[in-house]
Amino acid sequence: MRDPDEDLLVRIGAGDAGAAASLVRRHLSRILALSRRMLSDPSEAEDVSQEVFLKVWRQAPVWRPGQAKFETWIYRVALNLCLDRLRRRRRTVGEPPSDLVDPAASATRPMEDAERRARVQAALDRLPERQRAALVLCYFDECSNIEASRHLGVSVEALESLLARARRGLKRELAAERGELMGALDGD
């Protein structure tokens, strides 16, 4: 099966800025969404997305068709950049946590929905990176298990194991948070 991005990559490799713009339009929204979910920071997600497409621009001249599907490669690059940033965050001591609520959220949205999303995002942020990546790819980006396993560079069985552990961890995190909230309410 021919890679639908192959022609654009050849043109980008030859310096065609229009082809680069087409490729960005085609993939930016998904790369940006993946990065936002992984990093919980819109600004950092935009930085990662820019880095991804800079790598595409630099790698296009040496791209070898048939070795990997471009979409698989670009997701892998985005995930690696996100994981690198998450590791650097962990090493940085005393850094304040990023905002968990989308600053662009409409004031007319029900407060409960915003709080629920923030709780889920906070619980997702506490998961190990690879488990978080598996959940984001399969549930938010709606990748099939085969696609997600390729993006993560693992077997389908390993992906399913990551998903099972991630779902248990997310459930545990949300249950613990709910218990803390109920305990605080009982103390009033």
Q: How far apart are CA 98 and CA 6, in angstroms?
A: 37
pTM of this structure: 0.62
Q: How far apart are CA 110 and CA 155, in angstroms?
A: 41
Classify residue 161 as exposed, middle or buried by CB count within 10 Å of its CB (0-12, 13-18, 19+). middle
Tokens of 21: 């713009």
Do 102-188 and 1-98 have the same topology in CATH? no
Each domain of the chain, given as residue ranges in start order, spans 1-98, 102-188
The tens-digit pLDDT sequence of the chain (188 residues) is: 678 888 888 899 899 999 999 999 999 999 999 999 899 899 999 999 999 999 988 888 888 777 778 888 899 899 989 988 988 877 664 544 444 445 454 444 456 666 777 788 888 888 898 998 898 888 888 888 998 898 889 999 999 999 999 999 988 888 887 666 555 556 54
Q: Which CATH number fits domain 1-98: 1.10.3720.10, 1.10.1740.10, 3.90.226.10, 3.40.190.120?
A: 1.10.1740.10
Q: What's the CATH class of domain 102-188? A: mainly alpha
Neighbours of 169 (CB within 10 A): 18
Tell me the DSSP string of 72-83. HHHHHHHHHHHH
